[in-house]
Amino acid sequence: MTIYVKAHNPAPDIYDTGLISMPTRQKTVRYEFNFGTISIKTGKYVPYSGWKQENSTEPLADAPIIEKNTIIETYFNTSTRSYPIRWFVRDDNQNVLVKTSTPVQYGEGASQTAPTVEEIHTAGANTCSVTINGGQVEYSIFDGWDKLPININPSINDESFDIYSVWKTGETTITEMFDDNNISNLTPEQLLVLSAMDNSTRNLYGINSKIGINTRITYNMGYDSKEEGTVLIDSPLLLEGGTNQG
Protein backbone atom coordinates (compact mmCIF):
# COMPACT_ATOMS: atom_id res chain seq x y z
CA MET A 1 0.00 0.00 0.00
CA THR A 2 1.33 3.43 -0.92
CA ILE A 3 0.42 6.54 1.02
CA TYR A 4 1.68 10.09 0.75
CA VAL A 5 2.90 12.04 3.75
CA LYS A 6 4.10 15.63 3.79
CA ALA A 7 7.82 15.99 4.42
CA HIS A 8 8.84 16.33 8.07
CA ASN A 9 5.59 14.70 9.20
CA PRO A 10 5.07 11.34 10.98
CA ALA A 11 3.85 8.38 8.99
CA PRO A 12 0.54 7.00 10.24
CA ASP A 13 0.11 3.46 11.49
CA ILE A 14 -2.22 2.30 8.72
CA TYR A 15 -3.52 -0.59 10.84
CA ASP A 16 -4.10 1.44 14.01
CA THR A 17 -5.91 4.14 12.02
CA GLY A 18 -8.19 1.58 10.38
CA LEU A 19 -6.91 1.87 6.82
CA ILE A 20 -6.23 -1.89 6.65
CA SER A 21 -7.15 -5.02 8.53
CA MET A 22 -4.56 -6.65 10.78
CA PRO A 23 -1.78 -8.17 8.65
CA THR A 24 -1.21 -11.91 9.04
CA ARG A 25 1.52 -14.39 8.19
CA GLN A 26 1.02 -18.10 7.59
CA LYS A 27 2.17 -20.19 10.51
CA THR A 28 4.60 -23.05 10.02
CA VAL A 29 4.69 -26.38 11.83
CA ARG A 30 7.22 -24.92 14.25
CA TYR A 31 6.42 -21.20 14.48
CA GLU A 32 3.47 -18.87 14.63
CA PHE A 33 3.63 -15.17 13.86
CA ASN A 34 1.78 -12.37 15.62
CA PHE A 35 1.53 -8.87 14.20
CA GLY A 36 2.94 -6.28 16.58
CA THR A 37 2.55 -6.28 20.35
CA ILE A 38 -0.51 -6.37 22.60
CA SER A 39 -0.29 -4.16 25.68
CA ILE A 40 -0.44 -6.13 28.94
CA LYS A 41 -2.08 -3.14 30.61
CA THR A 42 -4.78 -2.32 28.04
CA GLY A 43 -5.01 -5.54 26.06
CA LYS A 44 -4.87 -3.50 22.86
CA TYR A 45 -2.43 -3.23 19.98
CA VAL A 46 0.54 -0.96 20.64
CA PRO A 47 0.71 1.58 17.77
CA TYR A 48 3.63 1.11 15.36
CA SER A 49 4.75 -2.15 17.07
CA GLY A 50 3.68 -4.10 13.98
CA TRP A 51 5.96 -2.17 11.61
CA LYS A 52 9.67 -1.79 10.92
CA GLN A 53 11.90 0.20 8.61
CA GLU A 54 13.15 -1.58 5.50
CA ASN A 55 16.23 -3.72 6.27
CA SER A 56 15.67 -3.36 10.02
CA THR A 57 15.08 -6.28 12.34
CA GLU A 58 13.47 -4.24 15.13
CA PRO A 59 9.91 -2.88 15.35
CA LEU A 60 9.24 0.85 15.35
CA ALA A 61 9.10 2.42 18.80
CA ASP A 62 7.05 5.39 17.59
CA ALA A 63 5.98 7.20 14.42
CA PRO A 64 8.80 7.63 11.89
CA ILE A 65 9.31 11.17 10.55
CA ILE A 66 9.21 11.10 6.78
CA GLU A 67 11.98 13.01 5.02
CA LYS A 68 12.14 11.02 1.78
CA ASN A 69 10.58 8.02 0.06
CA THR A 70 10.41 5.42 2.80
CA ILE A 71 9.53 1.74 2.83
CA ILE A 72 7.90 0.48 6.00
CA GLU A 73 7.34 -3.28 6.37
CA THR A 74 5.25 -5.47 8.64
CA TYR A 75 6.86 -6.81 11.80
CA PHE A 76 5.77 -10.12 13.32
CA ASN A 77 6.72 -11.52 16.69
CA THR A 78 7.79 -15.14 16.29
CA SER A 79 6.93 -17.76 18.89
CA THR A 80 7.39 -21.52 18.98
CA ARG A 81 4.13 -23.41 18.60
CA SER A 82 2.94 -25.78 21.33
CA TYR A 83 0.95 -28.98 20.96
CA PRO A 84 -0.75 -31.21 23.52
CA ILE A 85 0.50 -34.80 23.48
CA ARG A 86 -2.29 -37.38 23.38
CA TRP A 87 -1.92 -41.11 24.07
CA PHE A 88 -4.43 -43.51 22.49
CA VAL A 89 -4.97 -47.23 23.06
CA ARG A 90 -6.72 -49.09 20.26
CA ASP A 91 -9.35 -51.29 21.90
CA ASP A 92 -12.22 -53.09 20.15
CA ASN A 93 -11.42 -51.32 16.86
CA GLN A 94 -11.60 -47.86 18.36
CA ASN A 95 -8.98 -45.48 19.72
CA VAL A 96 -9.47 -44.80 23.43
CA LEU A 97 -7.95 -41.53 24.64
CA VAL A 98 -5.96 -42.36 27.76
CA LYS A 99 -4.05 -39.19 28.56
CA THR A 100 -3.53 -35.63 27.31
CA SER A 101 -0.53 -33.56 28.37
CA THR A 102 -0.37 -29.83 28.83
CA PRO A 103 0.87 -28.16 25.61
CA VAL A 104 4.49 -28.94 24.80
CA GLN A 105 6.65 -26.77 22.56
CA TYR A 106 7.71 -28.10 19.18
CA GLY A 107 11.06 -29.85 19.53
CA GLU A 108 10.51 -30.77 23.17
CA GLY A 109 8.64 -33.58 24.92
CA ALA A 110 11.22 -36.31 25.47
CA SER A 111 10.76 -35.95 29.21
CA GLN A 112 7.01 -36.61 29.07
CA THR A 113 5.76 -39.63 31.00
CA ALA A 114 3.62 -42.15 29.14
CA PRO A 115 0.43 -43.42 30.79
CA THR A 116 0.72 -46.30 33.23
CA VAL A 117 -1.23 -49.53 32.89
CA GLU A 118 -3.46 -48.33 35.71
CA GLU A 119 -4.27 -45.16 33.72
CA ILE A 120 -5.03 -47.24 30.64
CA HIS A 121 -7.48 -49.38 32.62
CA THR A 122 -9.03 -46.29 34.25
CA ALA A 123 -9.69 -44.90 30.77
CA GLY A 124 -11.65 -48.06 29.99
CA ALA A 125 -9.13 -49.73 27.69
CA ASN A 126 -7.57 -53.18 27.99
CA THR A 127 -3.90 -54.11 27.98
CA CYS A 128 -4.39 -57.67 26.79
CA SER A 129 -6.92 -60.05 25.34
CA VAL A 130 -7.02 -63.78 24.65
CA THR A 131 -9.51 -66.01 22.89
CA ILE A 132 -9.43 -69.79 23.22
CA ASN A 133 -11.69 -71.76 20.91
CA GLY A 134 -11.38 -75.52 20.57
CA GLY A 135 -7.67 -75.48 21.23
CA GLN A 136 -7.03 -72.49 18.96
CA VAL A 137 -5.53 -69.44 20.64
CA GLU A 138 -5.50 -65.78 19.62
CA TYR A 139 -3.84 -63.24 21.88
CA SER A 140 -2.97 -59.56 21.94
CA ILE A 141 -0.65 -57.95 24.49
CA PHE A 142 0.00 -54.25 25.00
CA ASP A 143 3.68 -53.70 24.19
CA GLY A 144 4.26 -49.97 24.69
CA TRP A 145 3.91 -46.93 22.41
CA ASP A 146 4.82 -46.12 18.83
CA LYS A 147 6.53 -42.83 19.84
CA LEU A 148 8.38 -41.24 22.76
CA PRO A 149 10.58 -40.63 24.46
CA ILE A 150 11.27 -38.24 21.58
CA ASN A 151 11.01 -34.52 20.98
CA ILE A 152 7.70 -33.94 19.21
CA ASN A 153 7.60 -33.24 15.49
CA PRO A 154 3.97 -33.00 14.36
CA SER A 155 2.87 -32.31 10.79
CA ILE A 156 1.84 -28.86 9.58
CA ASN A 157 -1.91 -29.43 9.89
CA ASP A 158 -1.81 -31.19 13.25
CA GLU A 159 -3.27 -29.56 16.34
CA SER A 160 -1.84 -32.23 18.64
CA PHE A 161 0.92 -34.84 18.69
CA ASP A 162 -0.72 -38.25 18.89
CA ILE A 163 0.87 -41.45 20.17
CA TYR A 164 -0.68 -44.90 19.72
CA SER A 165 -0.33 -48.22 21.49
CA VAL A 166 1.77 -51.02 20.06
CA TRP A 167 0.58 -54.61 20.38
CA LYS A 168 2.18 -58.02 20.30
CA THR A 169 -0.29 -60.37 18.64
CA GLY A 170 -0.31 -64.01 17.65
CA GLU A 171 -2.34 -67.04 16.65
CA THR A 172 -1.39 -70.56 17.66
CA THR A 173 -2.73 -73.67 19.36
CA ILE A 174 -2.60 -74.69 23.00
CA THR A 175 -0.59 -77.77 21.99
CA GLU A 176 2.03 -75.73 20.12
CA MET A 177 2.25 -73.12 22.85
CA PHE A 178 2.91 -75.70 25.58
CA ASP A 179 4.79 -78.38 23.66
CA ASP A 180 7.92 -78.02 25.79
CA ASN A 181 8.04 -80.40 28.73
CA ASN A 182 9.93 -77.78 30.70
CA ILE A 183 7.74 -74.72 31.15
CA SER A 184 9.33 -73.45 34.32
CA ASN A 185 10.24 -70.24 32.47
CA LEU A 186 6.91 -69.14 31.08
CA THR A 187 6.72 -66.41 28.46
CA PRO A 188 4.24 -63.55 28.87
CA GLU A 189 2.17 -65.07 26.07
CA GLN A 190 1.98 -68.44 27.82
CA LEU A 191 1.10 -66.80 31.11
CA LEU A 192 -1.68 -64.80 29.47
CA VAL A 193 -3.18 -67.94 27.92
CA LEU A 194 -2.91 -69.81 31.24
CA SER A 195 -4.80 -67.00 32.95
CA ALA A 196 -7.70 -67.64 30.57
CA MET A 197 -7.84 -71.40 31.21
CA ASP A 198 -9.63 -73.15 34.01
CA ASN A 199 -7.96 -76.03 35.81
CA SER A 200 -9.82 -78.70 33.85
CA THR A 201 -8.59 -77.27 30.54
CA ARG A 202 -5.01 -77.21 31.80
CA ASN A 203 -5.40 -80.86 32.82
CA LEU A 204 -6.92 -81.73 29.44
CA TYR A 205 -3.81 -80.50 27.62
CA GLY A 206 -1.41 -81.92 30.20
CA ILE A 207 -0.15 -78.53 31.28
CA ASN A 208 -0.48 -79.07 35.00
CA SER A 209 1.73 -82.15 34.83
CA LYS A 210 4.52 -80.10 33.26
CA ILE A 211 4.80 -77.86 36.31
CA GLY A 212 6.79 -79.47 39.13
CA ILE A 213 4.91 -80.09 42.35
CA ASN A 214 7.41 -77.98 44.28
CA THR A 215 7.75 -75.24 41.68
CA ARG A 216 6.20 -71.87 42.29
CA ILE A 217 6.49 -69.35 39.47
CA THR A 218 6.24 -65.65 40.26
CA TYR A 219 6.00 -62.95 37.56
CA ASN A 220 6.23 -59.19 37.46
CA MET A 221 3.41 -58.70 34.98
CA GLY A 222 2.84 -55.99 32.42
CA TYR A 223 4.27 -53.01 30.59
CA ASP A 224 4.45 -49.91 32.73
CA SER A 225 6.27 -46.71 31.81
CA LYS A 226 7.47 -46.37 35.39
CA GLU A 227 8.46 -49.98 35.98
CA GLU A 228 10.26 -52.58 33.93
CA GLY A 229 8.23 -55.66 33.13
CA THR A 230 4.95 -56.53 31.47
CA VAL A 231 1.56 -56.30 33.20
CA LEU A 232 -0.83 -58.67 31.53
CA ILE A 233 -3.58 -59.55 33.95
CA ASP A 234 -5.32 -57.64 36.72
CA SER A 235 -5.52 -60.39 39.32
CA PRO A 236 -2.82 -62.81 40.58
CA LEU A 237 -2.38 -66.14 38.81
CA LEU A 238 -0.86 -68.80 41.04
CA LEU A 239 0.71 -71.84 39.40
CA GLU A 240 1.98 -74.12 42.14
CA GLY A 241 2.76 -77.70 41.24
CA GLY A 242 -0.22 -79.97 40.88
CA THR A 243 -2.60 -77.57 42.60
CA ASN A 244 -2.64 -74.89 39.93
CA GLN A 245 -5.30 -72.29 40.46
CA GLY A 246 -6.18 -69.12 38.62
Res 235: pLDDT: 53
Task: Report, as an integer, the average pLDDT of 167-191.
Answer: 83
Distance CA 103, CA 107 (A): 12
Of 131, 98, 95, the C-alpha closest to 117 is 98
**Distance between CA atoms of 25 and 39, rounded to whole angstroms?**
20
Q: Which residue has the higher pLDDT, 221 or 199?
A: 199
Which CA distances in Å does 181 have to 170, 177, 205, 237?
A: 21, 11, 12, 20
Per residue in 62-112, pLDDT (tens digit) is 999 999 999 999 999 999 999 999 999 987 778 999 999 999 999 999 999
Lowest mean pLDDT among 22-26, 127-131, 158-162, 176-180: 176-180
**Tens digits of residue pLDDT in 28-38:** 999 999 999 99
Average pLDDT estimate for 206-227: 56
Task: Using the predicted structure, report yes or no on whether residue 202 has a pLDDT greater than 60.
Answer: yes
Task: Tell me the pTM.
Answer: 0.74
pLDDT of 229 reads 45
Q: Tell how strand 72-74 and strand 51-53 pair up.
A: antiparallel
Distance separating alpha carbons of residues 227 and 232, to the nearest angstrom? 13
Contacts of 135 (CB under 8 A, 6+ apart): 173, 174, 175, 205
Mean pLDDT of the chain: 86
pLDDT (0 to 100) of residue 214: 42
Per-residue pLDDT reduced to its tens digit, 230-246: 444 445 555 554 444 44
Spatial CA neighbour of 47 closest among 71, 34, 58, 63: 63
Contacts of 128 (CB under 8 A, 6+ apart): 139, 140, 141, 142, 192, 232, 233
Query: What percent of the chain clears pLDDT 90, i.e. is strictly above it?
Result: 66
* pLDDT tens column, 137-170: 999 999 999 987 889 999 988 999 999 999 999 9
Q: How confident is the model at residue 119 (pLDDT cuts 50, 70, 90)?
A: very high
